[in-house]
């Protein structure tokens, strides 16, 4: 009797262990599905408003931008399991030459047409891209507003250092938050392609003649709310789309060679001196 019961007990133990393991993994998966959902009041226009320091600090570590410091009560009814738009492909490419270039984003949604239509019928939804710019690169907020006026972007904002005249050595980092309106008329092809124009600041001198900056992966979020909401209870839900890391982008910015400093300074001084003397001479000869 004891010999025959051994295999039975072993089988029962293995089944129990498997059940516990499955239950544990299911709990972890459910937790991971919930933890990236958070909410913010509609009075807050931009996700990055609460994270300017984290986005632009020279020493900051990456932070989850969906961790908006608001009460969890805001998310009631919005953090439920929904068939929300998901991403199947994300690509980013640096285009152009010289000191004025652009980042082209190509985003493809993975939902079926019926699921997308059903979701957008009941919710206003935006795709939010937050690009943390490396030191030495800036976006012109005035230029970006023209994209909003032409309805390329739903909204856009630049956070951090927006002084366009400062050289790289005296400037701080900045970040750009772009909003795209997801509508059935514009989202049914499951593709979104757009460009973010960027400009290089004057970099420090380098013997190679170039200064290289690298872009990290952007944050891609889905922001949505019910279509029928009262102003006093309007809440945006945020979901991290967990986009796979995009292709690295490196920008070689032309810069001056320190070995030429003396020659350039002397030439500039002589040119200024000759021009000044010419003006004085012309003024003295004028009757």
Enclosing domain of residue 231: 39-52+72-255
Reply yes or no on whether the pLDDT at 64 is more than 70.
no
pLDDT in tens, 125-167: 999 999 999 999 999 999 999 999 999 999 999 999 888 888 8
| Cα distance between residue 276 and residue 287, in whole Å | 19
Domain membership of residue 285 (yes or no) is no
Give 152's DSSP letter. S
Q: Do 92 and 225 meet the contact criterion of CB atoms below 8 Å apart?
A: no
Distance between alpha carbon 218 and the CA centroid of its chain, in Å? Answer: 4
Reply yes or no on whether the pLDDT at 195 is more than 80.
yes
pLDDT, the chain, mean? 77
Domain membership of residue 139 (yes or no) is yes
Reply yes or no on whether the pLDDT at 27 is more than 70.
no
pTM flag (> 0.75): no
What CATH number does the domain containing 119 carry? 2.60.40
Domain membership of residue 187 (yes or no) is yes
Domain membership of residue 28 (yes or no) is no
Which residue did the predictor score with more confidence, 241 or 20?
Answer: 241
Domain membership of residue 19 (yes or no) is no
pLDDT-derived band at 61 (thresholds 50, 70, 90) equals very low
Please enumerate in sequence order all residues whose Cβ is within 8 A of that of 23, keeping only pairs 6 or more positions apart, or say none.
Answer: none
Looking at the structure of the chain, the number of domains it has is 1
| Cα distance between residue 47 and residue 219, in whole Å | 11
| Cα distance between residue 192 and residue 184, in whole Å | 13
Domain membership of residue 263 (yes or no) is no
pLDDT in tens, 75-115: 666 656 677 888 888 999 999 988 899 999 999 888 777 78
| Cα distance between residue 192 and residue 259, in whole Å | 46
Residue appearing with tokens 């932070």: 63
| Cα distance between residue 132 and residue 174, in whole Å | 6
Domain membership of residue 284 (yes or no) is no
pLDDT for residue 101: 94
Provide the 3-class DSSP secondary structure of residue 199.
strand
pLDDT-derived band at 277 (thresholds 50, 70, 90) equals confident
């Amino acid at each position: 009797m004891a010999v025959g019961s051994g295999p039975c007990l072993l089988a029962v133990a293995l089944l129990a262990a498997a059940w516990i393991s499955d239950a544990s993994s299911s709990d972890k998966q459910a937790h991971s599905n919930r933890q990236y959902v958070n909410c913010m009041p509609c009075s807050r226009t931009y996700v990055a408003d609460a994270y300017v320091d984290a986005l632009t600090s020279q020493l900051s570590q990456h932070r989850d931008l969906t961790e908006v410091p608001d009460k969890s009560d805001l998310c009631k009814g919005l953090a439920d399991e929904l068939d929300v738009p998901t991403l199947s492909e994300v690509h980013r490419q640096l285009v152009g030459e010289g000191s004025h270039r652009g980042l082209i984003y190509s985003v493809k949604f993975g939902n079926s047409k019926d699921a997308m239509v059903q979701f957008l019928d009941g919710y206003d939804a935006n795709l939010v891209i937050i690009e943390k710019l490396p030191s030495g690169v800036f976006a012109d907020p005035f230029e970006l507003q023209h994209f909003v006026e032409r309805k390329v972007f739903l909204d856009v904002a630049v956070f951090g250092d927006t002084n366009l005249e400062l050289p790289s050595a005296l400037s701080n980092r900045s970040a750009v938050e772009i909003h795209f309106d997801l509508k059935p008329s514009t989202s049914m092809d499951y593709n979104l392609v757009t460009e973010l124009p960027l400009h290089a600041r004057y970099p420090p001198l380098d013997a190679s003649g170039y200064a290289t900056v690298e872009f990290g992966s952007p944050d891609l979020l889905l922001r949505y709310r019910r279509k029928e909401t009262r102003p006093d209870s309007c809440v945006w839900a945020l979901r991290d789309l967990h986009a796979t890391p995009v292709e690295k982008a490196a920008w070689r910015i032309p810069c001056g060679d320190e070995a030429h400093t003396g020659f350039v300074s002397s030439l500039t001084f002589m040119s200024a001196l000759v021009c000044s003397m010419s003006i004085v001479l012309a003024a003295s000869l004028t009757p």
